[in-house]
Amino acid sequence: MQRAIACAAMAPGRSTITNPSWCADSLAAMRVATALGARVERFDDRVVVVGGLFPEPAGPGPIVASCGESGLCLRMFSSIASLSPVEVELRGEGSLAGRPVGMVREPLVALGVECSTNGGLPPVRVRGPLLPGRVVVDGGESSQFLTGLVMALPMTGGDSVVIAERLASRGYVDLTLDVMRAFGARAGRDDGYRRFSIGGKPYEAADYDVEGDWSGAAFLLVAGAIRGESGLDVVGLRTRSSQPDRAIVDALALAGARLEELPDGYRVRSGPLRAFSFDATDCPDLFPPLVALASRCEGVTSLRGADRLRVKESDRSTALSEEFGRLGLRVVVDGDQMFVYGLGAEAGSGGPRGGAVSSRGDHRIAMAAAVAALAASGPVIVEGAECVAKSWPDFFEALSSIGARA
């Protein structure tokens, strides 16, 4: 949804985005697009964006826009805002104020932009215009800035090449390229995920249907695996999606869940689940639902990629270990590995019990605790549960619709 808003904002003319998300992160992207000069109109079932960026500033200061708590919004729009000869300041709120954004500076400066941060933290200030060229980006920490840079470069009027080093979460860049092409851009990759070629062809207005969110669906699929005795259909999904979190299907299969592919999603049934080993390096947002899944698996589950969890909305490796610990589950982090001790893994381990956990202001920790509660021995209280609005405001309504008492 955020990528579609950004492309539509850069495309002259009227674009219609259907199947919209109204989560806080999507609203932040609409807010920034509006601040940069696009016109965004919201309807019940669609968003209409009239593209066109960078009006004359209202005063002598910079254009100021808040990205809320969305890391993607801030890192993505840093490059898009750099197209402007007027200074733009992008601010972060809540947990985003402490998340790193220093990776945006060096590549933008190399392409002619004045750029500064607050010691590597928000706010980000940029003044363009961004120029076409060849630039190297370190994607080891996040692919989100690369996404924004690749999205902005078609508007520079010339061809560009971006060399990506240590790129993480590669599937998200494929998703970016898919959305860009839907709005008429010329962009592709070769040499695996190392070299990205972007043509200097502007965006075109388009009608775009946002695909369902695999990151949210992962929680319901896990719910079906641990409590869906009669089967749970999770639909509204593109089963061949570029979204990395589609890998939840692979993890569920490894755990022994009974899965049936549907035309627009999956049917999942619960059954005996076994411990599994899974590399979530390129899909780190799956760690919370994977821990909820592993809590009902027989044995010790091993998850790789824990190093990527420390600079999310919370330090998720610590949050998962400590908060699931309050539910009687042993979660141990050892370097890049996370071990979840499930059923029968040690004396007295019978899965999660009731108790109170803190979301730590992290939407995915709140969702994971709620899903684990479906198979807990007592009620679970999730404190700070309203943070689910960041990505899925109706999460608890969805959980109630499948039989949970929330």
- Is there a common fold for 2-199 and 214-401? yes
Per-residue pLDDT tens over the stretch 23-78: 999 999 999 999 999 999 999 999 999 998 876 655 667 899 999 999 999 999 99
Asked whether 193 and 20 are in contact (CB, 8 A), the reply is no
Fold of 214-401: UDP-n-acetylglucosamine1-carboxyvinyl-transferase; Chain (3.65.10)
DSSP state of 325: H
Distance from C-alpha of 398 to C-alpha of 58, rounded to nearest angstrom: 43
From the CB of residue 277, how many other CB atoms can be counted at a distance below 10 Å?
Answer: 12
Q: What is the pLDDT of residue 61?
A: 73
- In angstroms, rounded to a whole number, what is the distance separating the alpha carbons of residues 84 and 37? 11
Torsion angle of alpha carbons 138, 139, 145, 147, nearest 10°? 120
Q: What pLDDT, in 10s, does the model give residues 210-250?
A: 999 999 999 999 999 999 889 999 999 999 999 999 999 99
Task: Tell me which residues are annotated as active site.
Answer: 285
Domain 2-199: CATH superfamily, name plus number: Enolpyruvate transferase domain (3.65.10.10)
Q: In the Cβ-directed half-sphere of 51, how many Cα atoms lie within 13 Å?
A: 23
Both tokens of 267, joined, read: 């049917």
pTM to 2 decimals?
A: 0.93
Supply the DSSP symbol for 343. B
pLDDT of residue 114: 97
Helix (H/G/I), strand (E/B), else coil: 380: strand
Domain ranges of the chain: 2-199, 214-401
**CA 304 to CA 322: how far, in whole Å?**
18
The span from the CA of 374 to the CA of 266, in Å, is: 20
What is the mean pLDDT of the segment spanning 331-355? Answer: 90
Letter string b/e over residues 323-361, b meaning 16 or more CB atoms within 10 A of that residue's CB = bbebbbbbbebeeeebbbbbbebeeebebbeebebbbbb
Sheet architecture: strand order including 46-51: 39-42, 46-51, 13-18, 207-209
8-state DSSP, 57? P
